[in-house]
């Protein structure tokens, strides 16, 4: 609970963060940028968890615990994604999305 | 009487067939011949023992030969309608067992010599065993369906054996022709069986042939349903007879028999002369009470006329043919016509049933001398390597045993006393005389023709002018002459069997007497035929050509078999194929196939069009996903807020 800031303001912030992430995911050409966008989406939801927990159920801990889970999973996912991107770079010397379309059809 | 051992009779040849068929390449030809002969020897011994036991040990009970049946349910459709598998032992099946055994055994022995050195030696013996198995099964069948199964098996083995030289196009064509023609006729048989099953609720011969104590068939209760003026049972019998006519080469289904001579000669002797082709006669005999009692024997009259016409028709063609096996084939058809007409004019009880007995008697004797004729012809063909009369002549010096045995067989078929054919043919003529004078006259004429064409080829082969042979023909080996001698002996003696005491329609038996005036007429006609043949063909002369020219068109027609093959070809090619099959095929290709192909093509086309959606870019998919989610969210918000 932060004095002077209501839940709506924080939720508006996380919503903006979420959609910025979505926009970035859809429009970025670089795989690293896409990865960063995904992180933004995840972080938006993490903040949501914490805020809702704090503001609505102050005597519980599930939301906080979930946020820690999500951070851990996001870290693992990022490690995996970076590994894939590095491998891809070794194969085709590029991390551009348009160069990875060879598997279509 | 315990009949369970009879079940071994068909199963031994089946075992031999499986053994030789499976280990075709592994068994040496010499061994496979022995296995075949040995297996059949056991079967034959059992058959002879069964015949002995049936007629002499078990004998009559209350003056009637009993019918023994042993069967197991095979398929049960309803409470009453079921198909059994089993064996039925009565006078005609026992007689057929003997016929099949004797001829098949002789043919097996003969084949060991005739087929020597042939590539498919083992295959040949396995097929022979298959045929023998099927034929035994056919004669022992207890119901219509069982007989139908074996009927088709017999057809298959006939097909396999006609097409034995499968590298020869003519043999392949003949095999197909035989199979298709008989199969077409069997279609009628099947429909007949189904009608019988539907209207009477049973397939069993025992029930179908049951005769009520007052005389008359128990079937009459069922015979009332009528169709186009005839009861359905009569229709069924006519259709069943169609199947019989197909197998027995009656008009108009005879066209396969002459072509079937493409098979090896022992096969012709066994299948297309002595055993398989009499299956049609046997079938009518098997259902005789039904044929006789249903609607006063309307179907039986058809049998009589078809038999008489076929017999005359075939005899006329036989005179003009030059291939000796074809002459014998037409002669077979003619004699089968005899058997059919004898059944057709027969009554049921006591002496009335003379025709039935005569038919079975003729079947019996004919099997012996016709097998002998074919085996003799095979011996000749083996020696001169040709089927044609023009390549033969003066062979009596080279092949004394074949000459004598062939002569005996010819005398037997010509009806000269005391050979076998005389006795049976005489009974047939008496039966015809007592019932239908028109058929009698035609039969007597056929008897003369028979004598003439048989002695035409006899003189043509063994007398006439000696031809220039590549190497001097020599008498066949013992394995071939032994069956000839044995069958010749049988052809002389079997006529003296008092057949009427054993095999009759009512199973009681009667004493048959020789009808001297009729016998004298038939014998005279036969002798006239022989003398004419002697005058025409003993020495090579132009007499025969002169008479052939005198008959002109008739001779030509007969020589071309009255154009039956051409008529069939015309009907199938120009009418059925052109006007029925071709439009159907077109419809099938264009519309049925077209629809299916069209559906496939449309699917391919659509996929081609929409495959761009599958871009391979994750972002595109994510965009669709998010757009969808947003749209759904908006929809739900809209719904909830209203």
- Domain spans, chain A: 7-92
Tell whether the model's pLDDT for residue B7 goes beyond 80: yes
Q: Which residues of A touch B616 (CB under 8 A)?
A: 100-105
Higher pLDDT, B335 or B353: B335
B614/A105 CB distance under 8 A: yes
Rounded to a whole number of angstroms, the distance from the CA of B610 to the nearest CA of chain A is 11
Tell whether the model's pLDDT for residue B638 goes beyond 90: yes
Residue with tokens 């199947």: B243
pLDDT of amino acid A11: 92
pLDDT digits (tens, 9 = 90+) for A17-28: 999 999 999 998
SS (H, E, C) B157-188: HHHHHHCCCCCCHHHHHHHHHHHHHHHHHHHH
pLDDT of amino acid A50: 92
Number of H helices, E strands in chain B: 26, 6
Tell whether the model's pLDDT for residue A71 goes beyond 90: yes
Per DSSP bridges, beta strands B68-76 and B64-65 are unpaired
pLDDT-based confidence at B225, cuts 50/70/90? low
The CATH number of domain A7-92, selected from 2.30.30.100, 1.10.287.3510, 1.25.40.320, 1.20.1250.20 = 1.10.287.3510
B616/A22 CB distance under 8 A: no
pLDDT of amino acid A33: 92
pLDDT digits (tens, 9 = 90+) for B122-165: 888 899 899 999 999 999 999 888 999 999 999 999 999 888 88
pTM: 0.79
Closest CA to B20 of B11, B10, B31, B9: B31
pLDDT of amino acid B32: 85
pLDDT-based confidence at B596, cuts 50/70/90? very high
Evaluate whether B300 touches B240 at the Cβ level (below 8 Å): no
| Cα distance between residue B314 and residue B258, in whole Å | 10
B617/A105 CB distance under 8 A: no
pLDDT of amino acid A39: 92
| Cα distance between residue B341 and residue B395, in whole Å | 36
Render the burial of B397-424: b for 16+ CB within 10 Å, e for the rest: ebbebbbbbbbbbbbbbbbbbebbbbbb
pLDDT-based confidence at B568, cuts 50/70/90? confident
Average pLDDT across chain B, whole number: 86
C-beta atoms surrounding B387 within 10 Å: 18
Average pLDDT across chain A, whole number: 89
pLDDT-based confidence at A37, cuts 50/70/90? very high
Residue partners of B116: CB distance under 8 A and separation at least 6: none
pLDDT-based confidence at A48, cuts 50/70/90? very high
pLDDT of amino acid A72: 94
pLDDT of amino acid B459: 87
ipTM of the complex: 0.79
Closest CA to B396 of B407, B385, B388, B408: B407
Q: Is B117 on the interface with A (CB under 8 A)?
A: no
B626/A26 CB distance under 8 A: yes
pLDDT of amino acid B594: 92
Q: In this complex, which of B616, B619, B626 lies closest to A104 when CB atoms are compared?
A: B616
Of all residues in chain A, the one with the smallest CA distance to B621 is A26
Percent of chain B with pLDDT over 70: 97
Count of A-B CB contacts under 8 Å: 26
B622/A105 CB distance under 8 A: no
Helical (H) or strand (E) element with B226: strand B226-227
Rounded to a whole number of angstroms, the distance from the CA of A31 to the nearest CA of chain B is 11
Rounded to a whole number of angstroms, the distance from the CA of A67 to the nearest CA of chain B is 23
Q: Which residues of B touch A26 (CB under 8 A)?
A: 619, 622-623, 626
Helical (H) or strand (E) element with B321: none
Tell whether the model's pLDDT for residue B633 goes beyond 90: yes
Q: Is B617 on the interface with A (CB under 8 A)?
A: yes
Mean pLDDT of B36-64: 87
pLDDT digits (tens, 9 = 90+) for B376-430: 888 888 888 888 888 887 788 888 888 889 999 999 988 888 888 888 888 888 8
pLDDT of amino acid B418: 81
Residue partners of A84: CB distance under 8 A and separation at least 6: none
Tell whether the model's pLDDT for residue B221 goes beyond 60: no
For residue B508, with 0-12 CB atoms within 10 Å meaning exposed, 13-18 middle and 19 or more buried, which class applies? middle
Q: Which residues of A touch B617 (CB under 8 A)?
A: 97-98, 101, 104
Q: Which residues of B touch A100 (CB under 8 A)?
A: 616
Tell whether the model's pLDDT for residue B475 goes beyond 90: no
pLDDT of amino acid B41: 92
pLDDT digits (tens, 9 = 90+) for B507-548: 777 777 777 888 888 888 888 888 888 888 777 677 777 777
pLDDT-based confidence at A102, cuts 50/70/90? low
pLDDT of amino acid B629: 93
B626/A22 CB distance under 8 A: yes
Closest CA to B478 of B379, B572, B406: B379
Tell whether the model's pLDDT for residue B76 goes beyond 80: yes
**Which residue spans within B52-204 are E strands per DSSP?**
60-61, 64-65, 68-76, 82-89
Tell whether the model's pLDDT for residue A105 goes beyond 60: no
Evaluate whether B454 touches B332 at the Cβ level (below 8 Å): no
Q: Is A1 on the interface with B (CB under 8 A)?
A: no
Q: Which residues of B touch A104 (CB under 8 A)?
A: 614-617
Q: In this complex, which of A22, A25, A103 lies closest to B616 when CB atoms are compared?
A: A103
A25/B617 CB distance under 8 A: no
Give how far Cα B629 sits from Cα of B187, B615, B620, B633, Å: 67, 20, 14, 6
A101/B617 CB distance under 8 A: yes
Q: Rg of chain B's alpha carbons, rounded to an integer? A: 30
| Cα distance between residue B243 and residue B183, in whole Å | 8
Q: Is A103 on the interface with B (CB under 8 A)?
A: yes
């Amino acid at each position: 609970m932060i004095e002077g800031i209501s839940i709506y303001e924080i939720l508006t912030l996380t919503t903006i963060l979420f959609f910025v992430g979505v926009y970035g995911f859809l429009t970025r050409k670089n795989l690293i940028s896409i990865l960063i966008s995904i992180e933004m989406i995840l972080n938006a939801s993490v903040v949501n968890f914490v805020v809702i927990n704090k503001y609505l159920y102050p005597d519980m801990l599930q939301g906080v615990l979930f946020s820690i889970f999500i951070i851990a999973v996001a870290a693992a996912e990022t490690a995996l994604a970076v590994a894939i991107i590095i491998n891809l770079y070794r194969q085709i010397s590029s991390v551009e999305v348009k160069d990875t379309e060879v598997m279509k059809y | 009487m315990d009949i369970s051992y009879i079940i071994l009779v068909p199963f031994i040849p089946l075992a031999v067939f499986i053994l030789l068929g499976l280990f075709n390449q592994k068994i040496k030809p010499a061994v496979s011949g022995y296995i075949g002969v040995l297996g059949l020897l056991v079967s034959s011994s059992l058959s002879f023992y069964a015949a002995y036991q049936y007629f002499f040990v078990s004998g009559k009970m209350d003056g009637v030969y009993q019918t023994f049946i042993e069967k197991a349910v095979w398929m049960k459709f309803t409470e009453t309608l079921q198909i059994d598998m089993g064996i039925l032992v009565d006078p005609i099946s026992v007689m057929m067992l003997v016929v099949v055994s004797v001829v098949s055994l002789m043919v097996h022995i003969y084949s060991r010599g005739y087929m020597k050195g042939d590539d498919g030696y083992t295959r040949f013996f396995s097929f022979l065993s298959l045929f023998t198995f099927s034929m035994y099964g056919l004669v022992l069948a207890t119901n219509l369906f069982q007989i139908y199964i074996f009927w088709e098996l017999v057809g298959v083995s006939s097909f396999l054996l006609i097409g034995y030289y499968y590298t020869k196009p003519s043999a392949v064509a003949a095999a197909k022709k035989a199979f298709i023609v008989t199969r077409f006729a069997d279609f009628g048989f099947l429909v007949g069986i189904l009608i019988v099953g539907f209207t009477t609720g049973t397939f069993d011969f025992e029930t179908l042939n049951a005769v009520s104590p007052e005389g008359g068939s128990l079937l009459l209760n069922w015979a009332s349903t009528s169709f186009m003026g005839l009861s359905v049972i009569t229709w069924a019998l006519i259709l069943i007879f169609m199947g019989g006519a197909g197998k027995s080469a009656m008009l108009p289904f005879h066209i396969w028999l002459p072509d079937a001579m493409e098979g090896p000669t022992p096969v012709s002797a066994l299948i297309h002369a002595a055993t398989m082709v009499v299956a049609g006669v046997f079938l009518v005999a098997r259902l005789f009470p039904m044929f006789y009692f249903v609607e006063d024997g309307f179907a039986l009259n058809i049998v009589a006329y078809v038999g008489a016409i076929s017999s005359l028709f075939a005899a006329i063609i036989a005179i003009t043919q030059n291939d000796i096996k074809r002459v014998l084939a037409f002669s077979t058809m003619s004699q089968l016509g005899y058997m059919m007409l004898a059944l057709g004019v027969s009554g049921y009880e006591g002496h009335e049933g003379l025709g039935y007995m005569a038919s079975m008697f003729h079947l019996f004797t004919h099997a012996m001398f016709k097998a002998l004729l074919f085996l003799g012809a095979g011996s000749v063909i083996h020696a001169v390597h040709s089927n044609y009369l023009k390549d033969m002549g003066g062979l009596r010096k080279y092949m004394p045993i074949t000459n004598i045995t062939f002569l005996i067989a010819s005398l037997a078929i010509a009806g000269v006393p005391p050979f076998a054919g005389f006795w049976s043919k005489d009974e047939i003529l008496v039966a015809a005389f007592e019932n239908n004078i028109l058929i009698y006259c035609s039969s007597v004429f056929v008897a003369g023709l028979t004598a003439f064409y048989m002695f035409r080829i006899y003189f043509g082969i063994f007398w006439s002018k000696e031809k220039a042979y590549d190497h001097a023909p020599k008498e066949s080996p013992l394995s071939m002459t032994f069956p000839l001698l044995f069958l010749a002996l049988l052809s002389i003696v079997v006529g003296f069997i008092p057949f009427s005491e054993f095999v009759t329609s009512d199973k009681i038996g009667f004493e048959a007497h020789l009808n001297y005036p009729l016998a004298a007429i038939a014998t005279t006609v036969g002798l006239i035929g022989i003398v004419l043949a002697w005058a025409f063909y003993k020495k090579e002369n132009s007499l025969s050509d002169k008479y052939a020219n005198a008959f002109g068109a008739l001779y030509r027609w007969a020589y071309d078999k009255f154009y039956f093959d051409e008529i069939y070809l015309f009907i199938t090619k120009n009418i059925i194929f052109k006007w029925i099959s071709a439009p159907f095929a077109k419809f099938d290709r264009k519309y049925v196939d077209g629809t299916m192909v069209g559906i496939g093509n449309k699917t391919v086309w659509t996929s081609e069009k929409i495959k761009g959606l599958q871009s391979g870019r994750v972002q595109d998919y994510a965009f669709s996903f998010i757009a969808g989610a947003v749209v759904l969210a908006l929809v739900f918000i809209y719904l909830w807020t209203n």
